[in-house]
Chains A and B, each alone.
With several copies, the nearest count.
Chain A
Amino acid sequence: MHFRFNEEQLELGRAARRFLEVESTTDKLRAAFGSDELYDAELYRRIAEELGWLALLIPEEYDGLGLTAVDLMPILEEMGRSLYRGPFFSTVCLGVNALLLGGSAAQKEEILPLVAAGEETLTLAYSEPHGRHEIDAIETHFEERGDEFVLHGVKRYVLDGVSADRVIVAARSKGSVGEEGIRLFVVPGDAEGLTRKRLPTLDISRNEAELIFEGVRVGRDAVVGADLDGAALLESILDRARAALAVEQVGGAERCLDMAVAYSLERKQFGRPIGSFQAIKHKAADMLWKVESARSIAYAANVAAASDDGLLLRELASSAKAYASDAYFFCASENIQIHGGVGFTWEYDPHFYFKRAKASEELLGHADFHRERVARAMGL
């Protein structure tokens, strides 16, 4: 039992912070706002080529580093801290995880090296306009026609859905209900019959899209996890992503705490730093309590992911996502309150975190959804 980062992981985190503090700033976010550019492609290329982060989860045989969800955590935390906007989470935590868990040898061979090199990005399209997170709510369907599958339906809230080179889409066999008949397909972003629309978001640090599938045709080789239970496969992918997102949320929450403390030391009212007032100190203390608690459960969830303990992962991923969502929202809120008047201006940073916290809270399932899932895991 050893529940700390090792020296390599710590150094990875330090390096990520040094890099992202310079390259993924809120000034850049503000500057990019309103432009058509979805993300900084040059920065993404450097992340892939110079830093190799895209290769991290990918096995060595596919040009990757063969590391685990635990090794990914330092990077995710820093991306959460710096509100990194590129398609890293969608590509790695959704796309790569999907292929690792369900991809055929051919798919992995074809796609993973491209991903590792930063030449292709991925995403997973599972949520739909109704916004429900239960697998059985999927309405997008496919029909089997000879050696082809034809996809119909609307996916919404798809992370980086417009820019992704390949979209892994969850659909159900036409006429099926519940968790039966669910299948995943990997579809080229420019497939015929697929319309992709960028959605304007409150949280401008992450891209969302609507994807309309109108008779998109894919071959049998597009099926991800042909031999697996589609619903279970999708849940496994989502659970890994949830565990990863929780870590990102921890990074964001901690940044809110650090920002609030720094501001409270600098801002003076009544002749003293506001950070010397008990009301502010106690808020900060509660923030730390929640940040560290979120960190503990988020790390544990990723240890479970790294050790392929599916049952434990399911419970811990939901626990981590529920707790980290609440903790991040709490910290982002208190950060605004501690900043006072400037806290709700566009010019200062707190609002970006406040919005990302809310968006992340809904992403991959709200805390209520996950607590109910934990209740079931508890046998209730």
Chain B
Amino acid sequence: MDLSFSKEEEAFRREVRAFLEDNLKGDFEKLKGRGGPGDEHSFVEERIEWGKVMGRAGWNCIGWPKEHGGRGVSLNEEVIFNEEYVRAGGPGRIGHIGETLLGPTLIHFGTEEQKKRFLPPIVSGEELWCQGYSEPNAGSDLANIQTKARLVGDEWVIEGQKIWTSLAHWSDWCFVLCRTDPDSERHRGISYLLVPMDQPGIEIVPIEQMTGDSEFAEVFFDGAKTHKDNVVGGVNEGWKVAMGTLAFERGASTLGQQAQFERELNLVISAAKENGRARDPQIRQRLADAYIGLRILRYNALRILSVQEGADLGREGSISKLAWSNWHRDFGKLAMDVLGLEANIAEGAPYELNLLQKAYLFSRSDTIYAGTNEIQRNIIAERALGMPKV
């Protein structure tokens, strides 16, 4: 066991650092520490620009194989990249859905044509992706999706509704789970379609969250179209592909998320020092607990990242979502308790919230989206611990 990095890896670190120092400034200065979950809708245009700058310098998709435009870096280098990106205050990666979800899915399941068409603009930061999985009646029960696609000539024609789609307004493409066999049930008869967003058959309606912001949207498909070749992994084979997408996430990118958490924690520590609650023994305990918890998220991630490529992620892999969402939820409460009465006062009317207030409110969705805590616990019990379904 070794938590330090080799000389070569440290050289890579310097390279990353130099790029960020040279580029994350000027017009991009204001992006520092912005974006990411809860703040995903902030500075989107500028972050798209930033994504292109990254792409031109070859810093998008660095973990992808070289043949697909990546750098093929090791997991350790990914860790280093994330550490440095965060240390520099790099903004929430606008292209992360393409880079971490769609890209790996195409690399694994896509046709040569699909790879050729779709991977390069992800690497360059030219095209953004969003995810079309959840529906109003298919949340925890994802297999209940009702959005339908039928082949009309050379095109899939899509009818239905997706929900909780983030960055839908800015995305060029969406990967959409559709029922392509009208007589099918549950996870059979579903296809994984790639659908262009800029077309008349698609309407995007923002969902106002309790923060007053609209990070998520509903996406209505009313005769939306995509070419018949834009199906990944075969017609009616989409469930397998969708589940595969989830498995590609090894967690290097969670280090970026942890960095956001660390920034938030530092804000709270500063606030506590300033308002004197850093002397309150209860608050001290809870701040220490939050600090320990964040360390644990990091070491959990490092353990997962140290698993050999292709090997089972093990029990520790299964707890990741539950662990970070609970951490963030508890942290949000702590942040408000540190602020005390001031926690209820917004920065400005009508509802201009500071970052801690946003984190507090937004963290309540952390335990819900991408598999509620309850679903996560089912999955842990059934898959990691082998407990029976019924």
Q: Which residues of A contact B284 (CB under 8 A)?
A: 371-372, 375, 380
- Take A300-B295, A362-B341 as given contacts and tell me if A343 and B364 are in contact as well, using a CB distance cutoff of 8 Å: yes
Q: Flag whether A277 is at the interface (Cβ < 8 A).
A: yes
A261:B386 contact, CB within 8 angstroms: yes
Give residues of chain A (323-380) contacting chain B, Cβ–Cβ below 8 Å: 323, 329, 333, 336-337, 340-341, 343-347, 351, 354-355, 358-359, 362-363, 366, 368, 371-372, 374-375, 378-380
B285:A378 contact, CB within 8 angstroms: no
Complex CA–CA separation, A113 to B385 (angstroms): 43
CB nearest to A372 among chain B residues: B284
Q: Which residues of A contact B372 (CB under 8 A)?
A: 337, 340
Tell me which of B59-67, B222-230, B350-358 binds A. Answer: B350-358
A261:B385 contact, CB within 8 angstroms: yes
Q: Flag whether B56 is at the interface (Cβ < 8 A).
A: no
A343:B368 contact, CB within 8 angstroms: yes
Q: Which residues of A contact B349 (CB under 8 A)?
A: 34, 198, 200
Contact with A along B347-390 (1 / 0, CB 8 A): 11111110001001110110111001110111011101111111
Q: Which residues of A contact B360 (CB under 8 A)?
A: 358
Q: Which residues of B contact A270 (CB under 8 A)?
A: 140-141, 144
Give residues of chain B (311-342) contacting chain A, Cβ–Cβ below 8 Å: 315-316, 318-319, 322-323, 326, 333, 336-337, 340-342
Q: Which residues of B contact A297 (CB under 8 A)?
A: 292, 295-296, 299
Contact with A along B196-230 (1 / 0, CB 8 A): 00000000000111101000000000000000000
Q: Flag whether A178 is at the interface (Cβ < 8 A).
A: no
Q: Which residues of A contact B336 (CB under 8 A)?
A: 358
Q: Which residues of A contact B378 (CB under 8 A)?
A: 278, 281-282, 285
Q: Which residues of B contact A341 (CB under 8 A)?
A: 134, 139, 163-164, 365, 368-369
B288:A346 contact, CB within 8 angstroms: no
Q: Which residues of A contact B316 (CB under 8 A)?
A: 292, 295-296
19 A-B pairs with C-beta separation under 8 A: A127-B341, A131-B275, A131-B341, A199-B346, A261-B385, A265-B388, A269-B137, A278-B378, A280-B387, A284-B385, A292-B316, A295-B316, A333-B364, A351-B210, A354-B364, A359-B344, A362-B344, A368-B280, A380-B287
List chain B positions with a Cβ less than 8 A from chain A: 1-5, 9, 76, 79, 134, 137, 139-141, 144, 163-164, 207-210, 212, 269, 272-273, 275-276, 278, 280-282, 284-285, 287-289, 291-293, 295-296, 299-300, 302-303, 305-307, 315-316, 318-319, 322-323, 326, 333, 336-337, 340-353, 357, 360-362, 364-365, 367-369, 372-374, 376-378, 380-382, 384-390
Extra 16 A-B pairs, beta carbons < 8 Å, given A289-B322, A359-B344, A362-B341: A2-B2, A3-B3, A157-B345, A201-B344, A265-B387, A276-B389, A277-B374, A278-B374, A281-B382, A303-B2, A319-B296, A340-B368, A344-B209, A378-B288, A380-B273, A380-B287
